Structure 1
């Protein structure tokens, strides 16, 4: 690894889990479906929330490759926490690219220290990938403030965030141009008109995935991020980074299950020797390691391109697709190595096995990723 800063991040994360958030504490957080407040405060002190925010606003000014390494290393132990980090990095990019000078001066320094956090409200009950047909509406009142009405699903971190960046329709659009007329409204959570209900997911249980309701929720006059009616176009500019960071999350899971399975194969005796001496155990572990190698290099290549400002949409989609499906293969193979112990909740494998399941359809389904890649290959659009 050429960049010593990347190895420093890995060392810092490993020390954090060893000293501040060990396996029993992780397991307790997973069972409680909530990351302890002191852990969230700790990652703020470590500077993780401001890793990719420009130094002019109090952040570290690191590029996406550093975010990839942080997300991967955290996911190796606790993917629920990595879900929050992906949200923080996406928030920083959205504000840095589309905020006004006043918004950046107001929000980014507070985001760097973790004093201000916000969630993304995109998916709805009637449409996840088909977000353009969402029913959430926002209208500007006479005093300039915004009134938001609707409902969103799978809004990560909403119950603990200070605001939700809601994608809402602010003007009608023709059927063939549904992306027009959608805006991004920064809507404060501390008000009667906004309710965030935690959803109990099988995977990433502590990540605070929420269903949010907006009943005449009020946002200030300066809550519009970017241009009115151009919110969807602003949003898709962040998707390459999101997919790269999602890939990093599943790479971390692959590394975590490989760690667990290798150690078990060395320690577990059968027929007078460690089970790792048998080809039936060695071969699936070799396959996991091979997938891990390819996924990591694939993802870091895409991260390097986006950090240089180069087009990488297809590579980002491919990285997320490959890493998430490799995580499915890895957890299935490693679970067979551990056998019954892999099903015991005291085993990290049980948690990583569950957490890997989310990757097939989040933050975008792999079917949709394949559609996107097919279109970029010159095939007719299928959606």
Structure 2
């Protein structure tokens, strides 16, 4: 059987280097930044860490070598991300969002757009370059492809005489978008409505908004977790961009779905990593803490049984992530249902693991000198972000499974399964023509 869970020597090295970076560089900076009262200060405090990550090639390791990137597979990227997220899941989100912004340029962009932005991102070894993925709005992301023009994406790009587009509206929660100084990321890839009269399966596109473009303002969101990455409210007031800034015209819905499919196993392995961090601490605690008894609490059956369940969940989650990433490596642009199932399974699994680990540690889990308090806060993020477990992720999986082309063994057999518009929006509202 062509199934092999052994890592190559190169992958072992990648994992070891990422773990060393996480423990020696990321951990002390993240612990400091997490406690800063100002959200933007917390993000800026991570800039030296980002510079060291850039020197290792992490912010562009997923880009093809043809553009100067690392050429890493999805599985390779997961190996590095797990090590970073086991220490702090906020900072690796900065790396993830670079991918969410740059890969649409690779998949849907023009030659000029790819040649302009991808080599520039890959060449950054000092941590100056940031890219933002700008899709979510205050109304949410779940129904971005709604068939009515009055619903879904409402950041509107109107074409003016001469070909330029003028953007008006607001985006809520984009990561990296404000840049280190709140003057904007180097490039923001923004999902927009380019036709006011059509629904989300025909009217959406994306535009590239460069740093310093007039009319864009940024307000930082103060979050309870993931404080080492930046989220903002981004407001557009008569923002003018050139015609050649447009990409995926009329295919913005397909872009969004493909993007969140790519990110799903990454967000999933991040959730597994948070669970792993909690488990590692709880295991060490159980081996040494006596609870005023005669021996370590791991000798008690209840604790041993719970740790066994926790360890099994982490192993299962990790291998589902590897399976999803491997499928995406073999079938680029596909795997939407598998990615959605991966994200929802691991995000929900992780919360139960963190809670069980807190029960093992007991009341001391509430003490901020221990990592459990932060693990609990961070665990709240994963079912909510990256398209949301109750929103897009389950809906996309549902839509694929409802399609006649889907069979229950398609992923077990590793067969390709193309995602089509017929799989969008299932279970929420029908298209205007009844489909």
TM-score, normalized by length of structure 2? Answer: 0.82
Q: Structure 1 residue 117 and structure 2 residue 140: aligned?
A: no
1:11 paired residue number: 16
For the Cα contact (< 8 Å) 2:102–2:131, is it kept in 1?
Answer: no
Query: Retained in 2: the 8 A contact 1:52–1:92?
Result: no
Identify the range of structure 1 (90-99 vs 68-77) with the bigger mean alpha-carbon deviation. 90-99
Question: Is the CA contact (8 Å cut-off) linking 2:27 and 2:88 kept in structure 1?
Answer: no
**2:257, 2:386 → 1: CA distance?**
12
Structure 1 segment 203-222 matched on structure 2, within 5 A: 203-222=225-244
After TM superposition, give the deviation of residue 192 of structure 1 in Å: 4.1
Q: Is the 8 A contact 2:207 2:247 kept in 1?
A: yes
Shift of 1:152: 0.6
Q: Does 2:344 align with 1:321?
A: yes
Give the unaligned 5+ runs of structure 1.
Answer: none
Corresponding residue to 2:33 among 19, 29, 34 = 29
2:189 aligns to what?
165
CA distance in 1, matches of 2:354, 2:194: 44
Paired residue total: 379
Find runs of 4+ consecutive structure 1 residues off by over 4 angstroms. none
Rounded to whole Å, the distance in 1 between the matches of 2:16 and 2:351 is 27
Bigger shift: residues 107-116 or 198-207: 107-116
Gap change, CA 1:218 and 1:100, over 3 Å in 2? same
Q: Which residue number in structure 2 is paired with residue 332 of structure 1?
A: 355
After superposing the two structures, state which structure 1 stretch, 94-103 or 31-40, moved more. Answer: 31-40
Alignment-derived partner of residue 94 in structure 1 = 104
Shift of 1:49: 1.0
**CA 1:353 to 1:149, structure 2 compared with 1: closer, same or farther past 3 Å?**
same
Which of 234, 257, 271 is the matching residue for 1:236?
A: 257
- More helix as a share of residues: 1
Shift of 1:221: 3.5
Q: Deviations over 1:12-42 (max 9, x none)?
A: 111113332334x321111223242111111
- Does structure 2 retain, via aligned residues, the 8 Å contact 1:44–1:113? no
* Unaligned segments of structure 2, at least 5 residues: 1-5, 37-41, 146-151, 180-184, 404-424, 429-435
Distance 1:267 1:105 in 2: 56
Aligned pair partner of 2:268 in 219, 228, 247? 247
Query: How far does the alpha carbon of each residue in 1:88-142 deviate from its partner, in whole angstroms, 9 at most, with x for none?
Result: 2223321111111111111111111345432111111123212232221112333
Superposed, 1:227-376 pairs within 5 Å as: 228-270=249-291, 271-309=293-331, 311-368=334-391, 369-376=393-400
* Residue deviations 1:51-101 (CA, integer Å, cap 9, x gap): 111111111111111111122111100100121121122233211111111
**Matched residue, 1:147:** 166
Identify the match of residue 75 of structure 1 among 63, 77, 85. Answer: 85
Using the TM superposition, name which of 40-49 and 310-319 deviates more. Answer: 310-319
Q: Distance in 2 between matches of 1:94 and 1:181?
A: 17
Cα contact 2:303–2:360 (8 A) shared by 1: yes
- Specify the SS of the correspondent of 1:151: strand
Moved more, 141-150 or 311-320: 141-150
TM-score by length of 1: 0.93
